[in-house]
Structure 1
């Protein structure tokens, strides 16, 4: 459900890897754990039931502080071009609410994939900006991971 004026995040990134490889990095727990989260975070566990209606739970360990969890449900799983899921924190901040993330992949040439990320609607601009920073750092890590493969 979107409405005009909703706070949404849109990002695009060109990755030097085929769509099938990029999609695998988005869904395979052992791959996801290598790049997910802002700089300095580690991902001790990823539980995933990859199908529409299936759930996921990602443990995130910040450099300082307590472990916390991201949870959600897959809405659309269409390899290798589209992945959509709900995104919410266990024990959310009062400014947080469940959002929907959609990742679309498109071939650019033989070696490249365009990743388009959309997420929303956010409750506040501050939360949108936080997610933009987190995704930017995560996608930077993903880009490095794929270019070293």
Structure 2
């Protein structure tokens, strides 16, 4: 019988992982995540758009933006960049545009090259609690994540 690791189990129960193979080299995929003009062209679920208030894409930098839903609802967001290692890894904290947001979550994105020139993008969200993870899954976070990656794939294809 395999030994149990309670700490690992506590982390796993707070995590959401989505992944996608993208038909582009990882340098281009990484650039789409880190070049403001590209990022603004595709970021967010289907029907959503973003308006940036502040963007400083470097470790210790911040991206403050409003995401506008198809119904016109505005969602203030803040991303604090922790690590930017081109072209393999991005790490940041994401939440609402408040200093005291108790629901901020930690994101790690990896960009892995395949021999065929495609990229495996893996996005890991670590939420503050098991209950919060369950809540965001309930409102569609996984589906919205895949819609966002669909928009990224279309952007990389030039459409």
Instruction: Name the TM-score, length of structure 1 as normaliser.
Output: 0.86
The residue matched to 2:9 in structure 1 has which SS?
coil
> Could you tell me how far 1:69 is from its partner in structure 2?
1.6
Higher share in strand: 1
Is 2:127 the partner of 1:127? Answer: no
Unaligned runs of 5+ in 2: 1-6
Aligned match of 2:17: 10
Is 2:153 the partner of 1:143? Answer: yes
Contact 2:52 2:63 in 1 (8 A): no
Distance 1:65 1:12 in 2: 29
Q: Which has the larger radius of gyration?
A: 2
Instruction: Name the TM-score, length of structure 2 as normaliser.
Output: 0.81
Contact 1:122 1:128 in 2 (8 A): no
Contact 1:8 1:128 in 2 (8 A): no
> Could you tell me how far 1:3 is from its partner in structure 2?
5.6
Aligned match of 2:95: 88
Distance 2:17 2:73 in 1: 29
Contact 1:10 1:119 in 2 (8 A): yes
Is 2:50 the partner of 1:79? Answer: no
Unaligned runs of 5+ in 1: none
Higher share in helix: 2
The residue matched to 2:82 in structure 1 has which SS?
strand
- After superposition, the CA RMSD in angstroms is 2.2
Distance 1:45 1:113 in 2: 27
List aligned pairs for 1:1-149, cutoff 5 A: 4-5=9-10, 6-45=13-52, 47-90=54-97, 97-123=103-129, 124=132, 125-129=134-138, 130-148=140-158
Q: Deviations over 1:30-65 (max 9, x none)?
A: 111121111111112263212211111122111123
